[in-house]
Structure 1
Amino acid sequence: MNQKWLEWAIELQSLAQAGLTYGKDVYDHERYERIRQISAEMIAYKTEIPLEKAKDLFCNETGYQTPKLDTRAAIFKDNKILLVQESNGTWSLPGGWVDVNLSVKENTIKEVKEESGLDVVADKIIAIQDRNKHNFPVYAYGVCKIFVLCSVLGGEFVENIETLGFDYFDESELPNLANEKNTKEQIAMCFEAYQSGKNWETVFD
C-alpha cells in the first residue's frame, strides 16, 4: 500500500511539534496547533481511528520529536530461538519499550525477566533498525528497534499479565509471529548473528 500520505502526516506533526516548542509568536502557535490537528485528522480519516484516539497516539508529546526505543532479546538453546507467546496467541522475541530510567542493556534484561522469567546477560547488539522500514503496520511515529543477543543465567517462567509462556523454535518451524514486533526476516537475522559468533557486525539502518 502506498504510505506517502502517512509520511506527509508524520512530517506535518513533527514540524508542528517543533514549532510549538521553539516558536515565540502566539499567532504562530495557533497555526502550529492547527497543523498538528490536520495531521491527526489525516491519520483518523485514512485509518478510521477515532480522531481523539489519533490525537492521543500521534500528538501527545512536547519538545523536539525523536523516535521511541524498543528492545528485543535473542536467546538461543540447541540452535533454537526463544519466543514468548503473547496474550493474543502470537509469538515474539521478549522485549518492549525502553523505560525512561533504564539503559538499553538494563531494559533488555528487565523485559526478558518480566516476559519469560529468565535471568540473562545482554551480550551484543545484533541490529538497530528503523521499525517502519521492516515491520507492519507502519506506525505514525518513529521507533528504533534494538535486537540484543543474550545468554541465559537461570530462572523459570512465572505467570504474568503479558505472556502465556515461552518455547524454543527452529528457524524452519517458526510459529505465528507478531509481525508488528518481529518478522521472519528479523528472526533469521538473529539466527545468523548467533551462528556467526564473534564475526557478527552490528546491522543498522
Structure 2
Amino acid sequence: MARTECYDDPNAPKPNSMVVAASAVVTDDRGRILLQRRRDNDLWALPGGGMDMTDSLPGTAVREVKEETGLDVEVTGLVGTYTDPRHIIEYSDGEVRRQFNVCFRARIVGGELRISDESTELRFVDSVELDILPMHHTQHLRLSHYLENRSQPYLG
C-alpha cells in the first residue's frame, strides 16, 4: 500500500481517521541513530507505528521497533509529542490519517537487526548524514529535537 505525506498543503485530502502512534530514536553504542527506509514511500524514518487497543504508548514504541527492526529496546525518555494538524498521511486504500505521534528515546537491550516487510533498508546513521537522506519534514523535526538534547520534551 502506498503512502503520501502532506504538510501544510491546501490541496491535501481531508482526514477520515485519527491514529495514535509512537516512534523511537534508537541509538547504538556510537550514538548513531537507527533509521528505516519505508517500503510504502521510499523515505527514511524512525521506526514506529500505530497503537493497539491493548498497548501503552511506550509499549507501542517497543513493539514497533521489534516488528520493524528485530531489535529489543527499552524506552529511556521522551523526545516530544507531534500533533500538528497540517500533517496529513494519505494511503492508497482510501485512509487519510491525521496522526498523533509520541516520540521516545530508546536503547537497545537485545535482538538482531533485520529488515521487515515494512522497510527496504535499515541503517545506523551519524547525525551529519541526516540532512542528505530523503525524509519527510516531520521526521527531521523529531530528529532535530532529539539532537538538541532538550531538558523538556517538545510539545506540539
- TM normalised by structure 1 equals 0.59
CA distance in 1, matches of 2:77, 2:57: 11
Post-superposition shift, 1:152?
0.4
Match of 2:100 in 1: 144
Give SS of 2:141's match: helix
Is contact 1:68–1:143 with CA below 8 Å preserved after alignment? yes
For the pair shown, the structure with the greater C-alpha radius of gyration is 1
Q: In the alignment, what sits opposite 1:185?
A: 141
Shift of 1:105: 1.1
Q: What is the CA distance between 1:158 and its match in structure 2? A: 3.0
Of 33, 38, 44 in structure 2, the residue corresponding to residue 86 of structure 1 is 38
Q: Distance in 2 between matches of 1:80 and 1:159?
A: 18
**1:108-119 maps to which residues of 2 (within 5 A)?**
108-119=61-72
Larger relative helix fraction:
1
Cα distance in 2 for residues equivalent to 1:169 and 1:158 = 16
Listed one character per residue, the Cα deviations across residues 133-161 of structure 1 (whole Å, up to 9, x for unaligned) are: 5x466996542210100010121123421
- 1:162, CA displacement in angstroms? 0.8
| Sequence identity (%) | 21
Match of 1:69 in 2: 20
Give the drift of 1:203. Answer: 1.7
Residue 25 of structure 2 aligns to which amino acid in structure 1?
A
Q: Select 2:80's aligned residue among 109, 116, 127.
A: 127
Report the CA distance between 1:165 and its aligned residue: 3.0
Q: Which residue is equivalent to 2:124?
A: 168
- Counterpart CA distance in 2 for 1:110 and 1:131 is 24
Q: Deviations over 1:9-53 (max 9, x none)?
A: xxxxxxxxxxxxxxxxxxxxxxxxxxxxxxxxxxxxx55x7xxxx
Could you tell me which amino acid in structure 2 is paired with residue 132 of structure 1? Answer: P
Question: What SS does the corresponding residue of 1:183 show, helix, strand or coil?
Answer: helix
User: Which deviates further from its counterpart, 147-156 or 68-77?
Assistant: 68-77
Tell me how large the CA RMSD over aligned residues is.
Answer: 2.8
Letter in 2 for 1:94: P
Structure 1 moving runs of 4+ over 3 Å: 135-142
Question: Aligned to 1:188, what secondary structure does the other structure show?
Answer: helix
Higher RCO (CA < 8 A, seq sep 6+)? 2
Structure 2 CA distance for aligned equivalents of residues 2 and 167 of structure 1: 30
Return the alpha-carbon distance in structure 2 between the equivalents of residues 131 and 154 of structure 1: 33
State the secondary structure of the residue aligned to 2:37: strand
TM-score normalised by L of structure 2? 0.76
Say which structure is richer in strand.
2
